[in-house]
Amino acid sequence: MAATAAKSGTSSSKNSGSSKNSGSSRNSDGKSGSKSGGRSRAKSGDGSAGAAKNHVSDVVIHFDAPAPEKFSTEQELKAYRDMLLIRRFEEKAGQLYGMGFIGGFCHLYIGQEAVVTGIQMAISEGDEVITSYRDHGHMLSCGMDPAGVMAELTGRRGGYSKGKGGSMHMFSREKNFFGGHGIVGAQVPLGTGLAFANRYRGNDRVSLTFFGDGAANQGQVYESFNMAALWKLPVIYVIENNRYAMGTSVVRSSAQTDFSERGASFNIPGMQVDGMDVRAVKSASDMAVKWCRDGKGPFILEMQTYRYRGHSMSDPAKYRSKDEVQKMRAEHDPIEQVRHRLIETKAASEEDLKAIDKEIREIVGKAADFAQADPEPDISELYTDILR
Ligand SMILES: Cc1ncc(C[n+]2csc(CCOP(=O)(O)OP(=O)(O)O)c2C)c(N)n1
Ligand SMILES: [Mg+2]
């Protein structure tokens, strides 16, 4: 990891490896100029301009992502298994939705699996996670029971919210998962509050507060940034930049499309990360977690990622081309990357990976069976778990 110091600071060269690897040429419609957001940009070798861009007083606010660490075979297999569980779970949820078993909204995480998986590999027990409505992957990654999550999607009594919350509203105190929030950006002050509580109690827990590129334009995000920086709260703001907020691409909605710089006004450092590469996510998260545990305050990780499916199950995704999606799937799929490495290095055989796939399909199949067979909540449940 390298802090972009005054002399080396150039925005255009920043994190080029990550952008190249992820295929995340952010502004695919050719409006890359919007990245500068009207601020003067440092040119390569222009030390003084670099200083102006990358520093607020003497505080470094931009870090280049560290080179992705090499995973051991054990780590590769864990990442493969964990990401595959999310993928297969989401595929099954999509099927059940199509069959009418799931009502209301359902936002799938397919394509973004490396983000939660890499972060979970970097955090410790006791650290807390809070996110938006695109939350099934986060729950599975926290170790929540797939059957309990699926049963919540189908509105059954064995679901995590007794069938009364649905896809966007599930929690687990045991696993330190704080939801599941349907209001865009609402989880950001809550995640900041979790960090405040940890700081107040003097423990070393970190709050992982996830939100999207669209949510990053919400006012409450910046109120939270201010407090987090002021009180040096141990919170990592993970901006999952999947390039779209519903049907609106980041270049159409955001004046500053480099989300790692969104904390600049508050002296919060940030980093852009190839969110399609689980190793890159893990390495960047290690650094951010250490930053927080060392008492240095908040950190922003912009995860450059992509969702393959529409915004929710009811979105035909006509605002982007099939080619764009196909290209990401073919060239940057997070699961395929690990699979490829495992096979290439002979760390695992096709048979080994097939056996893992079979095992995962069984777990997901059982979860789906339970979610269809479990009864709906009793009518008396209408009067419980409510504020009076
Ligand atoms: C306060 C608020 N405004 C608008 C909406 C409607 N809405 C739901 S999701 C969404 C887009 C958010 O996009 P992003 O933050 O990029 O997350 P992603 O869906 O890509 O994961 C919007 C506008 C909402 N739920 N809450
Ligand atoms: Mg988005």
pLDDT digits (tens, 9 = 90+) for 88-126: 999 999 999 999 999 999 999 999 999 999 999 999 999
CATH number at residue 358: 3.40.50.970
Task: Look at residue 190 and tell me if it is in a domain.
Answer: yes
Residues in the chain with pLDDT values less than 50: 1-53, 55-56
Task: Look at residue 137 and tell me if it is in a domain.
Answer: yes
User: Token digits for 112?
Assistant: 């973004």
Q: Which residue has the tokens 């590469």?
A: 277
Task: Look at residue 24 and tell me if it is in a domain.
Answer: no
Distance (Å) from CA 215 to ligand 2 centroid: 8
- Check residue 338 and give its pLDDT: 98
- Check residue 60 and give its pLDDT: 81
Question: CA 292, 298, 303, 309: dihedral to nearest 10 degrees?
Answer: 110
Closest-lying ligand 1 atom to the alpha carbon of residue 182:
25
Cα distance between residue 55 and residue 281, in whole Å: 24
Closest-lying ligand 1 atom to the alpha carbon of residue 240:
21
Closest protein CA for atom 4 of ligand 1: 184
Task: Look at residue 251 and tell me if it is in a domain.
Answer: yes
State if pTM tops 0.85. Answer: yes
Task: Look at residue 343 and tell me if it is in a domain.
Answer: yes
User: Token digits for 13?
Assistant: 């060269």
Look up the domain containing 98 and give its range.
72-374
Q: Structural domain tally of the chain?
A: 1
The stretches of the chain forming alpha helices (DSSP H) are: 16-22, 47-54, 73-98, 113-120, 136-142, 146-153, 187-201, 219-230, 250-253, 278-293, 322-332, 334-344, 350-373
Please say whether the beta carbons of 256 and 262 come within 8 A: yes
Task: Report whether residue 199 contacts ligand 1, using a CB cutoff of 6 Å.
Answer: no
Task: Look at residue 33 and tell me if it is in a domain.
Answer: no
Task: Look at residue 67 and tell me if it is in a domain.
Answer: no
Cα distance between residue 379 and residue 111, in whole Å: 38
Task: Report whether residue 244 contacts ligand 1, using a CB cutoff of 6 Å.
Answer: yes
* DSSP string of 337-356, one letter each residue: HHHHHHHHTTSS-HHHHHHH
Mutate to test the pocket of ligand 1, among 246, 248, 306 (most ligand atoms within 8 A of CB): 246
Question: CA 349, 353, 356, 360: dihedral to nearest 10 degrees?
Answer: 180
Please say whether the beta carbons of 130 and 140 come within 8 A: no
Task: Look at residue 354 and tell me if it is in a domain.
Answer: yes
Exposed, middle or buried by CB within 10 Å (0-12, 13-18, 19+), for 363?
A: middle
Closest protein CA for atom 11 of ligand 1: 245
- Check residue 90 and give its pLDDT: 98
Task: Report whether residue 184 contacts ligand 1, using a CB cutoff of 6 Å.
Answer: yes
Collect all residues with Cβ–Cβ distance below 8 Å to 81 and sequence separation of at least 6.
356, 360
